[in-house]
């Protein structure tokens, strides 16, 4: 067997699965190689929260025995992955990115970890995150127990939050895929900044049991991968009903690309302003991406988002729900141990959000859902916009200074699925577009992502290959 090197670390799930079954290398050899990279490069980029080398190698030995007996479970069997550190792993540290919870452990795995274990995937490490998944508001990339997450494309740049370690791990070839979570942008943003494919499922499609809660009515768990197809393969395993998650939609997901609609059937809405109001060095990439989308044969239509104060709504909802969840650390003063004083002050202030403000926000949110239902069933099937209008900012600041599409807060308020797709570079840094679909339109959103990536190779680029 060959020692895994080079392209192995940037291979897709399907590619690695074939090579494992062809016995080019064993699951143990593959796992050790990825663990070495995660522990060295991951630590260098502040992406690693906790290595799980010992348990990973034990799992890999079991997988090798299964493969030796031709017992196959599916494409994720033997595939090394990482998980954001807000997901519980039995008897292992789960810090939620904060020194407040540095010694915290749980008696059982999170639901998604259990499902991936059953699929034969190998968890090699807990990945860094912004403390408390960003809480109500944070002001610096250093708001994390592990420090500012450094982008693999340029270590002076931020990897994005709050699923920062997950974005780094995939982009730098430290794990084949990773799990992240999103409340308002925490999968889409690091995926865009790190040049990986990130998927935010429909709200309620994936169980959050065993995950840190930030906002019960907004939190979602999703995959960050090399491709849209990889995201679909992971979603196939982690989706499904869970009576122990009050937000569960009690729906499943089956990856069936053979039954998907033709891409030319889709009506895709977009606003030209979203593609024009970007920094000058990003315009060529976004213009080319828009042309690539047109080349798929989709029916593009200029539309405007329904008019709502999306930012204020989502801040109020996250603030009120997070204050309830983290009330104890505010009341007993531990909140002052947070790395970012801005976040500590925001959580303190959120405790005093009036119930009437929260209820008003939730009432208007129901109007947002109805407005998007009208838009996405009557006028178009999906929406398209830059995932982020700028590449990654400096690792000393999270501010980009550019106009951003409101699709991130709007889509999260309405519980809509979304995908971030690498689409080029600006100043040597990745940029991305995002498709947002109807609720439970997950197969179609992933399908258009696969179609886009079949015509482009941006998702195949890795740090050091930014030139067009």
Q: Kindly list the catalytic residues.
A: 84, 162, 186
Measured between alpha carbons, how far is 40 from 298 in angstroms, rounded to an integer?
A: 44
Measured between alpha carbons, how far is 405 from 366 in angstroms, rounded to an integer?
A: 21
Task: Quickly tell me which residue has 């482009």 as its tokens.
Answer: 456
Query: Are 434 and 222 a contacting pair, CB within 8 Å?
Result: no
Measured between alpha carbons, how far is 401 from 282 in angstroms, rounded to an integer?
A: 14
Angstrom distances, CA of residue 396 to CA of 116, 139, 156? 35, 10, 8
Residue 210 tokens, joined: 């065993």
Residue 434 CB partners (closer than 8 Å, separation 6+): 188, 192, 384, 385, 386, 387, 405, 407, 418, 419, 420, 421
Query: Are 178 and 124 a contacting pair, CB within 8 Å?
Result: no
Secondary structure of 12-24 in the HEC alphabet? CHHHHHHHHHCCC
448: buried, middle or exposed (CB in 10 Å: 19+, 13-18, 0-12)? buried
Residue 221 tokens, joined: 């768990």
């Amino acid at each position: 067997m060959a020692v895994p090197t080079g392209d192995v670390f940037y291979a897709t799930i399907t590619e690695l699965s074939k090579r494992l079954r062809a016995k080019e290398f064993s699951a143990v050899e593959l796992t050790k190689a990825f663990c070495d990279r995660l522990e060295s490069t991951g630590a260098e980029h502040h992406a690693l929260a906790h290595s799980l080398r010992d348990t990973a190698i034990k799992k890999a030995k079991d997988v090798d025995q299964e493969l030796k007996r031709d017992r196959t479970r599916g494409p994720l069997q033997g595939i090394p992955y990482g998980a954001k550190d807000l997901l519980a792993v039995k008897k292992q540290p789960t810090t939620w990115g904060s020194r407040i919870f540095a010694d915290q452990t749980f008696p059982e795995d999170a639901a998604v970890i259990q499902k991936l274990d059953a699929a034969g995937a190998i968890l090699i490490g807990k990945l860094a995150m912004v403390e408390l998944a960003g809480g109500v508001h944070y002001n610096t990339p250093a708001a994390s127990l592990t420090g500012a997450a450094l982008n693999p494309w340029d270590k002076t740049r931020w990897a994005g939050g709050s699923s920062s370690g997950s974005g780094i791990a995939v982009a730098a070839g430290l794990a084949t895929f990773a799990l992240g979570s999103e409340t308002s942008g925490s999968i889409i943003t690091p995926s865009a900044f790190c040049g990986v494919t990130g998927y935010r499922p429909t709200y309620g499609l994936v169980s959050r049991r065993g995950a840190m809660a930030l906002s019960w009515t907004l939190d979602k768990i999703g995959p960050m991968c090399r491709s849209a197809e990889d995201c679909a393969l992971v979603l196939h395993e982690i989706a499904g009903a869970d009576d122990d998650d009050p937000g569960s939609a009690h729906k499943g997901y089956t990856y069936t690309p053979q039954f998907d609609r033709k891409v030319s059937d889709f009506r895709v809405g977009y606003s030209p302003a979203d593609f024009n109001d970007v920094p000058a060095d990003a315009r060529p990439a976004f213009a080319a991406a828009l042309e690539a989308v047109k080349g798929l044969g989709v029916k593009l239509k200029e539309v405007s988002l329904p008019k709502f104060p999306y930012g204020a709504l989502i801040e109020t909802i996250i603030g009120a729900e997070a204050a309830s969840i983290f009330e104890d650390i505010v009341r007993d003063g531990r909140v002052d141990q947070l790395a970012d004083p801005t976040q500590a002050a925001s959580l303190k202030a959120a405790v005093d959000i009036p119930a009437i403000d929260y209820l008003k926000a939730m009432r208007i949110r129901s109007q947002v859902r109805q407005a998007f239902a009208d838009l996405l069933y009557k006028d178009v099937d999906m929406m398209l916009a830059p995932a982020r209008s700028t590449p990654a900012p400096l690792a000393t600041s999270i501010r980009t200074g550019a106009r951003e599409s409101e699709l991130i807060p709007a889509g999260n308020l309405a519980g809509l699925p979304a995908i971030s797709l690498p689409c080029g570079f600006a100043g040597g840094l990745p940029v991305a577009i995002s498709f947002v679909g109807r609720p439970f339109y997950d197969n179609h959103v992933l399908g258009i992502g696969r179609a886009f990536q079949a015509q482009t190779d941006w998702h195949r680029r890795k740090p050091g290959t930014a030139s067009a």
